Amino acid sequence: MKKKLIIALIPVVIFVGAHYGITLVDNVLKVGRMWETPAVRPYEQPLLVMEKGVVPISGGEVIFRATPPADLHPPSDDPAATSVARGKIGYSLFCAQCHGTSHDGNGTVGQSFAPLPTDLRSPKVQSQSPGQLFKEISFGRPEGRQPALATTISVTDRWSIVAYVKSLGVRE
Ligand code: HEC
């Protein structure tokens, strides 16, 4: 009888011992256990309000948006911005899927658009100033389907793509 009682007590002792052991370690531990960290649920706290001036009010895309196309020029301190070779690479990465490898609007992805992507060697496109093209690539066309790519393509690459497109000239 006594033996059975001792055997029955062994797991109890182990359990209680383990509990106190772990609690002791927990108290010494510097980090909290996973189940003790606070759970922050969506919208539990009000969203942080940004201080005035955190959004760029000078420089950045805002200035490009506000500047009339005629006054928009590639940065003179950045030779890569006027590099046709660089623009060619940019074109193959960001434009060719829609405007096609021969710039005529016959890219694979472009075929699902209505209207179809414009022929970049048409007089309509080639007669536009670099600033105008830069704005169209950056912010899309208000009534059209050209995507706004300002957040996708860096400023330097956008300007170099414009240089490349202008270098193609009107199709003979
Ligand atoms: C997702 C497909 C797509 C991509 C990517 C794309 N375009 Fe277009 N683009 C179009 C479509 C569609 C139009 C026709 C827009 C319209 O007339 O509504 C267009 C129109 C244009 C026009 C003519 C705007 C005008 O004045 O009529 C230019 C210039 C142009 N794209 C340049 C570019 C350049 C440069 C790139 C790469 C940086 C590019 N596009 C990437 C689909 C695309």
Structure tokens given for 44: 């539990």
Measured distance CA(113)–CA(117) in Å, rounded: 7
pLDDT of the residue at 36: 66
Alpha-carbon gap, residue 70 to 132, rounded angstroms: 7
Q: Is 163 in the pocket of ligand 1 (CB under 6 A)?
A: no
The reported pLDDT for the residue numbered 41 is: 76
Q: How confident is the model at residue 49 (pLDDT cuts 50, 70, 90)?
A: confident
- Alpha-carbon distance of 102 to 105, in angstroms, equals 8
Q: Is 122 exposed, middle or buried (0-12, 13-18, 19+ CB in 10 A)?
A: middle
Whether residue 74 contacts residue 132, with contact meaning beta carbons closer than 8 Å, is answered with no
Other C-beta atoms within 10 Å of 87: how many? 25
- Say if residue 30's pLDDT is above 80: no
Distance between CA atoms of residues 132 and 49, nearest Å: 35
Using most ligand atoms within 8 A of CB, pick from 118, 152, 156 the residue to mutate for ligand 1. Answer: 118
Distances (CA, A) of 33 to 24, 30, 169: 13, 10, 66
Q: Is residue 145 lining ligand 1, measured as CB closer than 6 Å?
A: yes
Can you tell me the mean pLDDT for 117-132? 96
**Structure-derived torsion over alpha carbons of residues 58, 64, 65, 68, reported in degrees to the nearest 10:** 120
Q: Which two tokens stand for residue 117?
A: 């992507």
Confidence of residue 32 (pLDDT cuts 50, 70, 90): low
User: What is the reported pLDDT for 48?
Assistant: 75
